[in-house]
Amino acid sequence: MIATAIIEEVRRMLREGILSQRQIAERLGVSRGTVNAVALGKRTARSQADANGNEPFIPPTGLPVRCPGCGGRVQMPCLLCHLRQQIRRPTELIRRAEGSGFASIATGPRG
């Protein structure tokens, strides 16, 4: 299974049109067939979120590239962006709960 971040990066690089499919595959450490499948719309980003909604982290592969999320030069998927997303997630859930009137359940009694 290929990480959602890799598929999104393939899509971004294809949209830019600077590199060939072969070059994209080499840079991201995936097969040319995978890049072609993404280009044709046959390969989509499928979420493998666990029961808590956390995306599994797939170890980085390939040559370092510029991360679209943080701008760092990293092997994709970017560990920093993955960790930031995991840290943000509980905060987003609390905000949603506060907006729906369930703040006391999500954050405990105030005062």
3-state secondary structure of 39: helix
Residue 30, CB-side half-sphere exposure with 13 Å CA sphere: 27
Judged against a pLDDT cut of 60, whether residue 107 lies above it is answered with no
The model's pLDDT over 14-23, given as tens digits with 9 standing for 90+, comes to 999 999 999 9
The model's pLDDT over 48-105, given as tens digits with 9 standing for 90+, comes to 555 556 666 667 777 888 888 888 888 888 888 878 887 877 766 667 666 665 555 5
Domain boundaries, the chain: 4-107
d(Cα 10, Cα 26) in Å, to the nearest integer? Answer: 11
Predicted pLDDT at 52? 57
Predicted pLDDT at 64? 86
Of residues 13 and 76, more confidently modeled: 13
Predicted pLDDT at 109? 54
